[in-house]
Amino acid sequence: MPDSSSYPLNIVILAAGKGTRMHSSTPKVLHKLAGTSLLAHVINTAESLNPSKIIVVYGYGGEAVPQAFAGKNITWVKQTEQLGTGHAVQQTVPYLDTDATTLILLGDVPLVSADRCKSLIEAAHQQLALLTVIKPEPKGYGRIVRNEQCLPQRIVEEKDATEAERAIKEVNSGIIAVANTHLKNWLTRLDNNNAQREYYLTDIVAMAANDCVAINAEVCDDEWQVTGINSKLDLAAVERVYQTRLAQKLLQGGVTLHDPARLDIRGSLTTGQDVEIDVGCIFEGEVTLADGVKIGAYCVIKDASIGANTIVAPFSHIDQATIANDCRIGPYARIRPGTELNTAAHIGNFVEIKNSQIDTGSKVNHLSYVGDTTVGKNVNIGAGVITCNYDGVNKSRTVIGDNAFIGSDAQLIAPVTIGANATIGAGSTISKDAPAGELTVSRGRQVTVPGWKRPVKK
């Protein structure tokens, strides 16, 4: 058999349907699974197959669907009226390459794997290949009707099926691969003489049987790969399966998950050795945890890399930050975009850090806001210190030199520089640069008023 990879591949993704049962104004294919839209999952799989073309048929929700994928190399084809899956594929005919094989994917079947698709594409060379699945509860699906030699003859939709056909448990996943020469011909012959008055793509199977074109039905042994999402119930079920599989991969790679059922990954999580993750954590975007990192319960970590042996205590949020090794963060810390923590920095409870660099060994342990600030090495920032980085219009930077000590409850009004080894007295409001090595204090002198009496009730 010739190697199918030497023939061009077209991929058509059907995504025009409304998804009535989602009860949402958002088109079904834009609903999210693991933080990524259903259609994006399918497009990612399609891209990994290196097709010469990806064609997406859209309709319900109008331009919102193509807009969600701006910049992608996709041919968008609008199906103004949803007259059936066959009608949807008919819209793509002008874009199909004559000598290619087309793989038809469904925008609401997000978990089909690239390997599964590859094998279907190979089986379709010059022919037709169907991905089927055995469903103990086949209701709602098209049934695969086979002849005495067990060869597929046609697909009958639930609404058109006889009692006997409805008993068939092998169903159509909707994912089909077919040689374009045949597909183009068959599409011209579709009609809507059926219970739903729709143009069924599935009618091409009977045409293939009639034309003596081989029909290869591959039975998928993993039901979830071909599960379509029609409701929020389906979405929640597929989300759990997806998360369980991600958790299993992490466990297999040696990560300790205190409970694999209480972890959500919405993007990609890369882990080193001896990483430990407590319950209820959410990882979004691209997160890297180096060797020995420990993440406490209920942390939300997005687009961040965390260095070896750093400990993130419970209820901490980290977003778009780079954190070196041996740091301690939290509990209840908020690390915002643009933060870089160098080795062994400590960020404690109720501390917010934004767009700041904190150098080696420096500590901000309690109740502080540090924004747009460069902090040197071994600096101690006392409880309740605020960098006043915003004058209502512009943001300004604060610079704190190595070994500085900022007393509790000081306010540093940016732009301002605190020199190396400087000490700032507790409660000071610093609006001018503080020199290196000196104590700077700005506050009223303490007085005691002799004989002062508390007011009494009149």
Task: Name the residues annotated as catalytic.
Answer: 366
C-alpha distances (whole Å) from 141 to each of 97, 100, 150, 192 are 30, 28, 20, 18
| 106 counts as binding ligand UD1 under rule CB under 6 A | yes
**Distance (Å, whole) CA 353 – CA 280:** 23
With CB under 6 A as the contact rule, the residue among 9, 11, 12, 16 that binds ligand UD1 is 16
| 202 counts as binding ligand UD1 under rule CB under 6 A | yes
Least CB distance to Mg ion at residue 109 (A): 8
In the window 219-238, what residues touch Mg ion (CB under 5 A)? 228
**Distance (Å, whole) CA 409 – CA 414:** 16
| 155 counts as binding ligand UD1 under rule CB under 6 A | yes
Select 140 or 254, whichever has its Cβ closest to ligand UD1: 140
What 3-state class would DSSP assign to 450? coil
Select 233 or 251, whichever has its Cβ closest to Mg ion: 233
The site that binds Mg ion (CB under 5 A) totals a number of residues, namely 1
Select 158 or 276, whichever has its Cβ closest to Mg ion: 158
Say if residue 60 carries a ligand binding annotation: no
With CB under 6 A as the contact rule, the residue among 11, 17, 218, 355 that binds ligand UD1 is 17
Rounded to the nearest angstrom, the gap between the alpha carbon of residue 364 and the centroid of all alpha carbons in its chain is 32
| 401 counts as binding ligand UD1 under rule CB under 6 A | no
| Alpha helices in 272-352, H assignment, sequence order | none
Select 77 or 327, whichever has its Cβ closest to ligand UD1: 77
Say if residue 453 carries a ligand binding annotation: no
| Count of other CB atoms within 10 angstroms of residue 221 | 9
Say if residue 454 carries a ligand binding annotation: no
Q: In terms of C-beta distances under 8 Å and separation of at least 24 residues, what long-range contacts does 373-376 make, across chains too? A: 373/397, 373/398, 373/399, 373/400, 373/414, 374/398, 374/399, 374/400, 375/400, 376/400, 376/401, 376/402, 376/403, 376/404, 376/420
Q: Is 307 exposed, middle or buried (0-12, 13-18, 19+ CB in 10 A)?
A: buried
Say if residue 157 carries a ligand binding annotation: yes
Say if residue 443 carries a ligand binding annotation: yes
Least CB distance to ligand UD1 at residue 49 (A): 18
Candidate ranges 83-91, 341-349, 398-406, 409-417; the one touching ligand UD1 (CB under 6 A): 83-91
In the window 208-267, what residues touch ligand UD1 (CB under 6 A)? 228
Asked if 437 contacts 453 with a C-beta cutoff of 8 angstroms, the reply is no
| 352 counts as binding ligand UD1 under rule CB under 6 A | no
| 200 counts as binding ligand UD1 under rule CB under 6 A | yes
DSSP letter for each residue of 180-234? HHHHHHHHHT----STT----GGGHHHHHHHTT--EEEEEPS-GGGG----SHHH
Q: Which residue type occupies 427? A: G
Say if residue 95 carries a ligand binding annotation: no
Say if residue 369 carries a ligand binding annotation: yes
Select 159 or 395, whichever has its Cβ closest to ligand UD1: 159
The residue whose Cβ lies closest to ligand UD1 is 142
Asked if 8 contacts 97 with a C-beta cutoff of 8 angstroms, the reply is yes
Select 82 or 192, whichever has its Cβ closest to Mg ion: 82
Q: In terms of C-beta distances under 8 Å and separation of at least 24 residues, what long-range contacts does 407-410 make, across chains too? A: 407/382, 408/382, 408/383, 408/384, 409/382, 409/383, 409/384, 409/385, 410/382, 410/385, 410/386
Closest C-alpha to 117, from 49, 194, 186: 49
Say if residue 254 carries a ligand binding annotation: no
Select 201 or 206, whichever has its Cβ closest to ligand UD1: 201
With CB under 6 A as the contact rule, the residue among 12, 14, 313, 418 that binds ligand UD1 is 14
Contacts of 70 (CB under 8 A, 6+ apart): none
Asked if 125 contacts 101 with a C-beta cutoff of 8 angstroms, the reply is yes
Say if residue 190 carries a ligand binding annotation: no
Closest C-alpha to 219, from 147, 146, 167, 284: 146
With CB under 6 A as the contact rule, the residue among 40, 88, 111, 179 that binds ligand UD1 is 88
Least CB distance to Mg ion at residue 228 (A): 5
201 binds, among ligand UD1, Mg ion, none (CB under 5 to 8 A by kind): ligand UD1
| 85 counts as binding ligand UD1 under rule CB under 6 A | yes
Rounded to the nearest angstrom, the gap between the alpha carbon of residue 133 and the centroid of all alpha carbons in its chain is 27
| 186 counts as binding ligand UD1 under rule CB under 6 A | no
**Distance (Å, whole) CA 370 – CA 84:** 57
Give the footprint of Mg ion on this chain (CB under 5 A): 228
**Sequence ranges of the binding site for Mg(2+):** 108, 230
**Sequence ranges of the binding site for UDP-N-acetyl-alpha-D-glucosamine:** 14-17, 28, 79, 84-85, 142, 157, 172, 230, 336, 354, 369, 380
Give the footprint of ligand UD1 on this chain (CB under 6 A): 14-17, 57, 79, 82-85, 87-88, 106-108, 141-142, 155, 157, 171-174, 200-202, 228
